[in-house]
Structure 1
Amino acid sequence: MWDPSTYLRYGDERSRPFHDLLARVPAERPRAVVDLGCGPGTLTATLADRWPGSRISGLDSSAEMIDRARALTRAEPISFTVGDVRAWRPEPDLDVLICNAVLQWVPGHRELLTRWAAELPAGAWLACQVPGNFDAPSHRALREVAARPRWAATVAPLLRAAPVADPVGYAALLTEAGCAVDAWETTYLHLLPATGADHPVLAWMEGTALRPVRAALDAGDWSDFRAELGAALTESYPVRQGRVYFPFRRIFVVARTGARAEENP
């Protein structure tokens, strides 16, 4: 279960890659725009400001997230639907497909990208972003705690070592699919205030990476696990000047379908 309030604790930091991704999509008047894995809809809502008159829709597997999205007040209508990105198929007039911080959760998503590139109309834009921080101290600490005897059987199998490719991998995949591709990576440095009882990186991870762990543990075990992880994160990310310096690598790819590979999108 996704908790929209927990996810939005660091809304400004989480939204920046979305806007950086969309800055590389030069579509002017798309007929339809879809945001796959739209979450609570706050970023999807900005698409109606960017492309007024386009048909905007969002899809997410979490009913809780979609309920939050449907509660947004918007001048421009946006449709939000509960659904699985693996089963989703594009309509013939879809000109922009956005998939922001979603595919790391989807096994086999490379095949999914290839299928989308084939099914989208020629000249459509496919824009994706995934976190590339699975070898960061935060995730190494998570795997180290999960491997301890108390948690090895329950938590360790839930963790994913390297579920995403690098920019070269995605660029090669979509170039082979007949797209013109722009791929890059960025490491953001988030300065997280250390104002609460919990380590701020622990609070960040509760919104995403720790979600399946929380679902697998009862209240007592969860309290103990997060305490152990919090101690490990304190060593990896010390508090300095009242804040934690949290580097976060992200991987981006923007592809235009049906274009020659040597074209720059």
Structure 2
Amino acid sequence: MPAGIPHLNDRIALVTGASRGIGRAIALALAGAGAALAVNYRQREAEAAHVVAQIESAGGRAIAVRADVSAADEVAHMIDEVEKRLGVIDVLVNNAGTGTVCDIDALTEAEFDRTLAVNLKSAFLCTQAVLPGMRARRWGRIVNLSSAAARGGGLVGVHYNASKAGVEGLTRGYAARVARDGITVNAVAPGPIDTEMAAPLKASNVAERLPVGRLGEADEVAQAVLMVTGNAFVTGQTIAVNGGVNFI
């Protein structure tokens, strides 16, 4: 296996929101490192099945598992299904998210609550669900997807800023408490990435304002996830993948 890619043979990984975009790239990257993959989706069943097919065609193991990860009962059912079909979860990537562009004058309480539930509460629910098994085995890797908006003004809205800043706080809090159990918890914070969710950013020509002069690629985010997954001495950190839009 090439240098810099972790050896994840016999490891089970769950990636939430993995049917498309960054989540899909992360799932494929982890599978390429040897992990068996649980590909979580909420609505896009056909796209999740396609990710599974890609992994299987390359000789890997994968399943698609539907769940709204902002709902505790659905998370519990998802974890149970993954453990029955693949095994206990060693690597959790909390990628599921939402980012509806909304100015402060139009932002509603319902949209604020929904954004925090999908982007932040889901990471809490999934982490709580997998920690007992990781602690028992004294090995685990948890990676939370943050955003450049966690530490900047951002382009989506204050609801998104708040949710992603919360993700980084959650990351540091867990990291401090489970490191002695052999578990690392890190965040990866993408800037503008060329995915379906980035359509509003393309319309505003944000790429021209980045130091690198282009949007990032989903595979570049996946590379950062692989890096922290393979390093047992990096924990509680936020890895910026943002083309120089800010410096953490």
The two structures, once aligned, show a CA RMSD in angstroms of 4.8
Shift of 1:130: 0.6
TM-score by length of 2: 0.51
1:1-265 superposed matches below 5 A:
23=5, 27=8, 29-30=9-10, 32-40=12-20, 41=24, 43-51=26-34, 55-61=36-42, 62-72=44-54, 74-84=57-67, 85=69, 86-87=75-76, 88-89=78-79, 91=83, 93-99=87-93, 101-102=95-96, 105-108=118-121, 109-120=123-134, 121-135=136-150, 140-143=154-157, 159-164=159-164, 165=166, 167=168, 169-177=170-178, 179-182=181-184, 204=194, 207-208=196-197, 233-234=204-205, 238=208, 244-245=213-214, 264=233
8 Å Cα contact 2:92/2:142 also seen in 1:
yes
What TM-score comes out, normalization by structure 1 length?
Answer: 0.49
- Structure with more helix by fraction: 2
The higher radius of gyration belongs to 1
1:56/1:78 contact within 8 Å kept: yes
Partner amino acid for 2:142?
Answer: A
Gaps of 5+ in 1: 1-21, 144-155, 190-200, 211-225, 257-262
Indicate if the aligned counterparts of 1:94 and 1:124 stay in contact, CA closer than 8 A: no
SS of equivalent residue, structure 2 residue 62 = strand
**Structure 1 residues 171 and 64: CA distance shift in structure 2, 3 A:** same
Residue 63 of structure 1, CA deviation: 1.4
Go from structure 1 to structure 2 and tell me whether the alpha carbon gap of 1:75 and 1:32 turns closer, same or farther (over 3 Å shift): same
- Secondary structure at 1:34's aligned position in 2? strand
Cα distance change, pair 77–111 in 1 and its aligned pair in 2 (3 A): closer
Which has the higher relative contact order, 1 or 2, with Cα contacts under 8 A spaced 6 or more apart?
1
After superposition, the Cα gap between the structure-2 partners of 1:254 and 1:117, relative to the gap in structure 1 and judged at 3 Å, is: farther
Q: Structure 1's 95 and 26: CA in aligned 2 closer, same or farther, altered over 3 A? A: farther
Q: Secondary structure at the match of 2:197?
A: coil
User: What's the CA shift for 1:183?
Assistant: 5.1
Shift of 1:74: 0.9
- Is the CA contact (8 Å cut-off) linking 1:98 and 1:127 kept in structure 2? yes
Distance 2:167 2:58 in 1: 38
**Percent of pairs identical after alignment?**
9
Partner Cα distance (1:107, 1:209) in 2: 20
List runs of 5+ in structure 2 lacking aligned partners: 70-74, 99-117, 235-248
CA positional deviation for 1:254: 5.5
Distance 2:147 2:210 in 1: 25
Quickly say closer, same or farther: Cα 1:119–1:70, change in 2 above 3 A: closer
